[in-house]
Amino acid sequence: MATKRDFYEVLGVAKNASDEDIKKAYRKLAMKYHPDRNQGEDAKAKEAEAKFKEVKEAYEMLSDAQKRAAYDQHGHAGVDPNMRGGAEGFGGFGDAFGDIFGDIFGGQGRGGRGGGRQVFRGADLSYAMEITLEEAANGKDSQLRIPSWDACDTCSGTGAKPGTSAKTCSTCHGQGQVQMRQGFFSVQQTCPQCRGTGKIIPEPCGTCHGQGKVKKQKTLEVKIPAGIDDGMRIRSAGNGEPGTNGGPPGDLFIEIRLKKHSIFERDGDDLHCAVPISFTKAALGGEIDVPTLGGKAAIDIPEGTQTGKQFRLRGKGIKGVRGSYPGDLYCHITVETPVKLTEHQRKLLKEFDESLSKGGGKHQPSGESWTDKLKGFFGG
Ligand SMILES: [Zn+2]
Ligand SMILES: [Zn+2]
């Protein structure tokens, strides 16, 4: 802070200058260095911008009777919050200057590592991961490419162009917050100049554009637990975006999306699958193979099995993330009507049909009740 110029010197006025003189001097200099009149990216524009800020700060201090008094008495330490450490020795200083300073000093305990500046937790990131049913059932070690932020090598994380340095924000004096006075009230809000960081970088680093950090990719090892289901989220603490002013990073959430399976449909820990069988197999019965996640299994189809019949294979479902037992596999039978018959097959079926009709409907399990229902419906 030793390099900070005297406010009176900045405005080019005497120590005993009147309020009016201070105002005049400020207007003149502000016009001269105003960013609107000094546009461009060159050194001259940068210098004008820095001067403009310096002038503005000096005026803000000297145009306020309380701040001017503090400055006259204690110099920069009286008004510069970066000098807070020494301010305690002044005793009763906060009280003497009312709410403006009172709040600044009162806020000393707040914000932890960030000093008095506003500390923000980083944003959470979310990532959707599509996995197969098999992966969900068995678990999976997965690698994720996620964005990460590293301190910028060019500026060593300061955000300032090498050879230059960040300056304390003159609007909020490094607090990151400003007092907006509305009548009797003073409202604290994030400094619009530095957006709460408390620092202004006159010449930003070209690599990170003043961010002090660069976005990179990193590989994250993620363990997908066995039994995980569609829509479940895995939290990876601290792998979200970095915080501001030393605030903690956010978390990364991995949301699981289950790919559609060609055979199985999942319902919690249970699995369902459709099993088509020929009508002769359905009529005669016999053993058939059915698929399970662990390979083939055999089930015995009894004689005269109908479409819609379910067979439950205990324990052939999925063991949930918190489950102790695996669910079941339900095989739903559909009896298929044969198609593309040869002449010979047609003949056989006709003969077969004739023999069935001699049985008087007893070969159709729902035949009689169906005929009765129709009679009732037509009033016959
Ligand atoms: Zn600021
Ligand atoms: Zn940089």
For the chain (380 residues), the mean pLDDT of every run of 10, in chain order, is 74 86 86 76 80 86 82 70 36 32 32 52 90 95 86 85 89 86 79 85 89 86 93 90 80 94 96 96 96 94 95 96 93 96 96 85 75 79
Ligand nearest to the CA of 213: 2
pLDDT score recorded for residue 76: 73
Q: Which ligand is nearest to the CA of 175?
A: 1
Tokens at residue 114, please?
């960030």
Ligand 2 geometric centre to CA of 207 (Å): 5
Among the bound ligands, name the one nearest to the CA of residue 160. 2
Q: What is the pLDDT of residue 49?
A: 82
Say how many Å lie between the CA of residue 208 and the centre of ligand 2: 4
Q: Are 239 and 114 in contact (CB under 8 A)?
A: no
Expressed in angstroms and rounded, the spacing between residue 190 Cα and the centre of ligand 1 is 8
Q: How far, in Å, from the CA of 117 to the mean position of ligand 1?
A: 9
Q: How many angstroms does the Cα of residue 150 sit away from the middle of ligand 2?
A: 10
- Expressed in angstroms and rounded, the spacing between residue 162 Cα and the centre of ligand 2 is 8
| Ligand 1 centroid from CA 330, angstroms | 65
Q: How far is the centre of ligand 2, averaged over its atoms, from the C-alpha of 143 (Å)?
A: 29
Ligand 2 center from residue 52 Cα (angstroms): 25
| Phi, psi for residue 15 in degrees, rounded to 5 | -60, -30
Q: Which residue's entry shows tokens 């449909």?
A: 265
pLDDT score recorded for residue 136: 96
> Which numbered ligand comes closest to the C-alpha of 53?
1
Tokens of 23: 């105002």
The ligand that comes nearest to the alpha carbon of residue 177 is 1
Task: Please report the sign of the dihedral spanned by the C-alpha atoms of residue 346, residue 347, residue 352, residue 357.
Answer: positive
- Report phi then psi at 172, rounded to 5: -110, 0
Q: In angstroms, how far is the first alpha carbon of the chain from the final one? A: 107
pLDDT of res. 115: 46
What gap in Å lies between CA 150 and CA 207, rounded to an integer?
12
- Residue 295: predicted pLDDT: 92
Q: How far is the CA of 63 from the centre of ligand 1 (A)?
A: 19
Angstrom distance (rounded) from CA 85 to CA 269: 62
CA 303 to ligand 2 center in whole angstroms: 78
Return the pLDDT at 19. Answer: 85
Counting ligands in written order, which one lies closest to the CA of residue 210?
2
Q: Cα(296)–Cα(68) distance, rounded to whole angstroms?
A: 88
Query: What was the pLDDT predicted at 149?
Result: 81
